[in-house]
């Protein structure tokens, strides 16, 4: 995995530079604004820094062989001979007493020299004390350290695994994530490094969120589909408020939900508040005529009827409505699901709505649950891109682009 940082004058420029360097598969992990410093900082433009990552294929390397050196024994196998040479001295004629004294003195000196030589040779020929192999000691200490870190890493992974399951991440996906980290643990990495690796791996699993993007071609037609009671109509109002009030775009509402009169009335109320066009579409044949009437708008948001994933008749009606849009209009489909829905039901919903159209995911009601595992489960199960999340009924405040870093921290036990 390659992780780099890139800077640009705007957030879009920094992201563009990152993707040019790392490729379109690069995942933007973090974006922050860098404010200028110094005495004249108010005259300088601020910059943006993005942290981007791209996953690489792992390569296994064979462990290098260790050279093993034999011990070297030193043995003295040659006889050492010490030539003794007694200096010749001219003896003067002295008395017998003086000659004996001189002879004793020479003999004592010779014996002392021989004794010193013998002591020296004994030290040289004595067996050498075993030398400590410092390299072996270092290898042994390193091995013990790695073994300890591996044990701590395994214990830490068990704890993380428990946290994942507690947050309702599927065992299948939790196991897959930890298997990817197995090499890190096997190499005796620290707990901090293991946690960082898991965090980065989960960021990549979620992928880069994809918001609604407007092109040069008008209008962009966006359908919102999903089960009943997940908050589609309120989500549409929040999206419209963002584009109209924050981005200054023109927006129109279409309601194809003729099953619930209250739904159309609710959307009409939002349209009046935002001062945007509103109309009701009663059949797929009317969709292009309704779009044409508001074709000067940047964005047309279409509310559809919610239905049970077991109701095949309504599913076919929604599919026909979406397929009826003229190809000259750019269209996009978002599946709106509640974060409180059980995983088994979400799997069925994801399968049924895939038969209708390819979609991006919007998760609602994050404020009504403390377990966000299903966000990762359905992302990995369906393969659909993530888009927005909502966490309340307030319009337009309670909506944001999927905040990957925040969600991953919560899934790992953080806040």
Q: Is the model more confident about 261 or about 412?
A: 412
The 3-state DSSP class for residue 75 equals coil
Q: 179: number of CA atoms within 13 Å, CB side?
A: 6
Q: How does pLDDT run across 112-128, given as a tens digit for each residue? A: 666 665 665 566 555 65
Compute the chain's Rg from CA coordinates.
41
Among 143-152, 266-275, 368-377, 394-403, the least confident range: 143-152
pTM of the predicted protein model: 0.68
With contact defined as beta carbons under 8 Å apart, do 232 and 280 qualify?
no
> What's the chain look like in SS3?
CEEEEEEECCHHHHHHHHHHHHCCCCEEEEEEEECCCCCCHHHCCCEEEEEEEECCCCCCCCCCCCCCCCCCCCCCCCCCCCCCCCCCCCCCCCCHHHHHHHHHHHHHHHHHHHHHHHHHHHHHHCCCCCCCCHHHHHHHHHHHHHHHHHHHHHHHHHHHHHHHHHCCCCHHHHHHHHHHHHHHHHCCCCHHHHHHHHHHHHHHHHCCCCCCCCCCCCCEEEEEECCCCCCHHHHHHHHHHHHHHHCCCCEEEEECCCCCHHHHHHHHHHHHHHCCCEEECCCHHHHHHHHHHCCCCCEEEEECCCCCCCCHHHHHHHHHHHHCCCCCCEEEEEEEEECCCCHHHHHHHHHHHHCCCCCEEEEECHHHCCCCHHHHHHHHHHCCCEEEEECCCCCCCCEEECCHHHHHHHHCCCC
At residue 133, the pLDDT reads: 66
What does pLDDT average to over the chain? Answer: 81
Q: Is the model more confident about 148 or about 173?
A: 173
Is residue 70 scored above 50 in pLDDT? no
What average pLDDT does this structure show over 219-244?
94
Is residue 65 scored above 50 in pLDDT? no
Is residue 304 scored above 90 in pLDDT? yes
Give the separation between CA 280 and CA 304, rounded to whole angstroms.
Answer: 10
At residue 97, the pLDDT reads: 56
Structure tokens of 161? 């695994």
Share of the chain above pLDDT 70, in %: 76
Most confident of 50-59, 67-76, 272-281: 272-281
Q: Is the model more confident about 207 or about 134?
A: 207
Is residue 238 scored above 80 in pLDDT? yes
Helical H runs in 131-170?
134-166
The torsion angles phi and psi of 59, rounded to 5 degrees, stand at -115, 135
Share of the chain above pLDDT 90, in %: 48
Pairing of strands 399-401, 299-303: unpaired
CATH topology for 220-403 is: Rossmann fold (3.40.50)
Among 6-20, 47-61, 193-207, 338-352, the least confident range: 47-61
At residue 86, the pLDDT reads: 44
Res. 131 pLDDT band, cuts 50 70 90: low
What average pLDDT does this structure show over 262-269?
87
Is residue 256 scored above 50 in pLDDT? yes
Is residue 249 scored above 90 in pLDDT? yes
At residue 128, the pLDDT reads: 56
Res. 99 pLDDT band, cuts 50 70 90: low
Is residue 277 scored above 90 in pLDDT? yes
Res. 172 pLDDT band, cuts 50 70 90: very high
């Amino acid at each position: 995995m390659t992780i780099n940082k890139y800077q640009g004058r705007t957030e879009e420029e920094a992201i563009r530079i990152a993707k040019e360097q790392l490729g379109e598969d690069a995942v933007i992990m973090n974006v922050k604004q860098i404010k200028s410093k110094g005495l004249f900082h108010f005259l300088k433009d601020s910059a943006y820094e993005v942290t981007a990552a791209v996953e690489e294929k792992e390569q296994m390397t064979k462990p290098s062989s260790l050279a093993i050196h034999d011990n070297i024994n030193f043995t003295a196998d040659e006889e050492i001979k010490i030539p003794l040479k007694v200096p010749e001295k001219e003896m003067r004629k002295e008395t017998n007493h003086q000659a004996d004294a001189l002879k004793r003195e020479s003999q004592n000196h010779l014996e002392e020299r021989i004794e010193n030589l013998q002591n020296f040779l004994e030290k040289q020929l004595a067996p050498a004390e075993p030398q400590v192999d410092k390299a072996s000691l270092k290898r042994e200490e390193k091995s013990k350290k790695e073994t300890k870190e591996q044990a701590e890493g395994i214990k830490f992974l068990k704890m993380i695994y428990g946290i994942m399951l507690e947050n309702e991440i599927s065992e299948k996906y939790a196991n897959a994530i930890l298997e990817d980290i197995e090499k890190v643990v096997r190499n005796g990495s620290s707990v901090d490094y293991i946690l960082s690796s898991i965090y980065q791996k989960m960021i990549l699993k979620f992928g880069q969120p994809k918001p609604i993007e407007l092109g040069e071609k008008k209008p962009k037609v966006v359908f919102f589909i999903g089960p009943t009671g997940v908050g589609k109509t309120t989500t549409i109002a929040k999206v419209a408020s963002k584009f109209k009030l924050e981005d200054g775009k023109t927006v129109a509402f279409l309601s194809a939900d003729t099953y619930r009169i209250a739904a159309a009335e609710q959307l009409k109320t939002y349209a009046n508040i935002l001062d945007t066009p509103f109309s009701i579409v009663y059949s797929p044949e009317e969709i292009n005529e309704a779009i044409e009437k508001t074709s000067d708008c940047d964005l047309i948001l279409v509310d559809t009827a919610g239905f049970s994933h077991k109701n095949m008749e309504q599913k076919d009606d929604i599919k026909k409505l979406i397929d009826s849009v003229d190809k000259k209009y750019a269209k996009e489909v978002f599946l709106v699901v509640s974060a409180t829905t059980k995983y088994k039901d979400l799997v069925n919903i994801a399968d049924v709505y895939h038969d209708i159209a390819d979609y991006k995911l919007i998760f609602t009601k994050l404020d009504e649950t403390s377990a966000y595992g299903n966000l990762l489960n359905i992302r990995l199960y369906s393969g659909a891109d993530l888009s927005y999340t909502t966490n309340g009924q307030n319009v337009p405040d309670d909506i944001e682009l999927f905040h990957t870093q925040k969600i991953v921290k919560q899934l790992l036990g953080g806040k």
